[in-house]
Amino acid sequence: MTLLSPNYIYIDGTFKENLAVAFEKKIHAIEPLSKLKQQYPHAKVLEAKKNSVLYPGFINTHVHLEFSANSTTLQYGEFMPWLNSVIKNREDLVAKCDNAVMQKACQTMMNSGITTFGTISSFGTELEVCTQTPQKVIFFNELIGSNASTADMLYQDFLERLDVSKKCGEGIIPAIAIHAPYSVHPIVLKRAINVAITEQLPLSAHFLESQSEREWLENNSGAFLEFFQKFFSTSKSVTNISEFIESFDSIPTHFTHAVQATTKELEYLAKKGHSIAHCPRSNRFLGCGRLPIEKLHELNIPFSVATDGLSSNNSLNIFDELRSALMLHHEEALDKLSALLIKGVTSVPAEIFNLNSGKIELNRDADFALVSLPDEPNSLEDIALQTILHVNRVDDVYIGGEKIKM
C-alpha cells in the first residue's frame, strides 16, 4: 500500500485540502494522512512537494500516433490544402514514423500526465508501441473508403486490423473509428457500426470538421468537389449529413470536431446520447473554426478535450491544448471554462468510454497525474485555471498504482 499526500486533491470537480490517497492498483481510501497512517501502518508514505495537486491521470481521446513524424511538412491554415498535403506526403510521413518517433510521442503525452489515450489507427503500425507503453490505449481501428469498388477490400483490411488489436491483452482496448462521412461508403459504414454494437466496442468518427465538408455533404459543391473529381472521378457525395448521423442512432458515438454542426444537429447528437471530442488547436490550425462549447453545455452534450495528432498540431502536451482552449473560447468566464476543460480530460472521457479511471474515487484505478504550482494558489476555486496556466510537465505519473519512470 502507498499513501500519497499532496496539498490538494481534485475530487468530484473540486479541490480538497488535508486529504491523502491510499492505493495499490486501485484506490483503497481517501482520508487525512494521519488516519491513513493508523489504518495502514506498514504503507509507504509519499509526501508530495509544496503546492502539489493530485489529478486523476489525464485522458486524451483523440490522437493519430502514426502521423507523429510531421512537424513542418503539412500545410496548415485551411482544411483542403491541408488534406491535399496529407495525401501528397502520407507515405513519406508514415515511413518516417518509426517506433522511436511514436515512443517519443507517447512520452510527451506521459510528461503532461496523459495516462490513457485513444489513437486513430489507419494502418496498425503503432500497435507495437501501444502494447509497450505503460499507458492504457483505446485502439481505434479506422475504416476508410468511399469508392464502392474498393470499399469491400478496405473493409476486410479493417476487420483484420481490428482482429489483431483484440488479441493484445489488457493495455489495449480494441475500438472502431469511422474516418469521416465523406470518406466511408454507407454499406461498409453500417457493417462496421454493427460490429461495434454486437461486440460492444468504443466507436468514434470525424464529423463536420470543416465548412468544405458541409458544402460537399449538403450540395456536392465546394473544395471537396475538385478533390473528389481529381482522386475518385466522382462529383457526388456517398451520403448526406442526416443519413450519416442516423446510422449511429443505436450506439452512443464519440464524434470528433463537429465544429460545423448546426444547433439542430447538435440537438440530435444530444438526443441520441452521443459525445464530442474537441480539438481546439487542430481546428484553429486547419482553419475550421471554433466549436461552440457553450452550446454543448446548454444541450448537455459531453465533450472531451483532445490533442488530435501531430498531423494537425504542434505538440501532444495536454497543458498546451488546455491553454489554447482558454484563448479560443475567449468569451467564457475563465473559472468556469477551466473547470470544464479539466473535466474534459478526466471524468468526462472516463464516463464516455466507461473507463475505471478519470476520477479520484474509491475502487477506481490508481492512475494519477501529480503536478505542482509555482506558488500558493489564491483560493481553491483558482486551482484549475492556475494549473492550466502554469504547468507544462507533471512531477509524477502513476498508472495502475505504479509510478512511471520519466
Applying CB under 6 A, the residues found at the interface with ligand BEZ are: 144-147, 182-183, 232
Q: Which is nearer to ligand BEZ, 112 or 210 (CB)?
A: 210
Distance in Å, CB of 148 to ligand BEZ, minimum:
11
Beta carbons within 8 Å of 53's beta carbon, 6+ residues apart: 6, 7, 8, 9, 10, 15, 370, 371, 372, 373, 383, 387
Residue closest to Fe ion (Cβ): 308
Query: Helix, strand or coil for residue 278?
Result: strand
Active site residue 209: yes
Q: Which is nearer to Fe ion, 119 or 346 (CB)?
A: 119
Q: Which is nearer to ligand BEZ, 68 or 146 (CB)?
A: 146
Contact 13, 30 (CB under 8 A): no
Query: Helix, strand or coil for residue 87?
Result: helix
Distance in Å, CB of 314 to Fe ion, minimum:
15
Partner from Fe ion, ligand BEZ, none contacting 146, C-beta within 5 to 8 A by type: ligand BEZ
Distance in Å, CB of 120 to ligand BEZ, minimum:
13
Partner from ligand BEZ, Fe ion, none contacting 255, C-beta within 5 to 8 A by type: none
Catalytic residue among 142, 209, 213, 321: 209
Distance in Å, CB of 147 to ligand BEZ, minimum:
6
d(CA 28, CA 365): 10
Contact 313, 282 (CB under 8 A): yes
Q: Which is nearer to Fe ion, 209 or 365 (CB)?
A: 209
- Grid look-up 468537389 returns 225
- Grid look-up 510521413 returns 93
Q: Which is nearer to ligand BEZ, 20 or 151 (CB)?
A: 151
Q: At what angle do helices 334-344 and 318-328 cross, to 10 degrees?
A: 140
Q: How many other C-beta atoms lie within 10 A of the C-beta of residue 290?
A: 15
d(CA 162, CA 142): 9
Distance in Å, CB of 256 to ligand BEZ, minimum:
15
Partner from ligand BEZ, Fe ion, none contacting 70, C-beta within 5 to 8 A by type: none
Q: Which is nearer to ligand BEZ, 84 or 133 (CB)?
A: 84
Distance in Å, CB of 62 to Fe ion, minimum:
6
Q: How many other C-beta atoms lie within 10 A of the C-beta of residue 297?
A: 15
Partner from Fe ion, ligand BEZ, none contacting 275, C-beta within 5 to 8 A by type: none
Helices assigned H by DSSP within 167-272:
186-199, 211-219, 223-232, 241-246, 263-271
Partner from ligand BEZ, Fe ion, none contacting 144, C-beta within 5 to 8 A by type: ligand BEZ
For 232-256, letters b (16+ CB in 10 Å) and e give eeeeebbbebeebbebbeebebbbb
Interface size with Fe ion, residues (CB under 5 A)? 1
Contact residues for Fe ion, defined by CB under 5 A: 308
Question: Annotated active-site positions, please?
Answer: 209
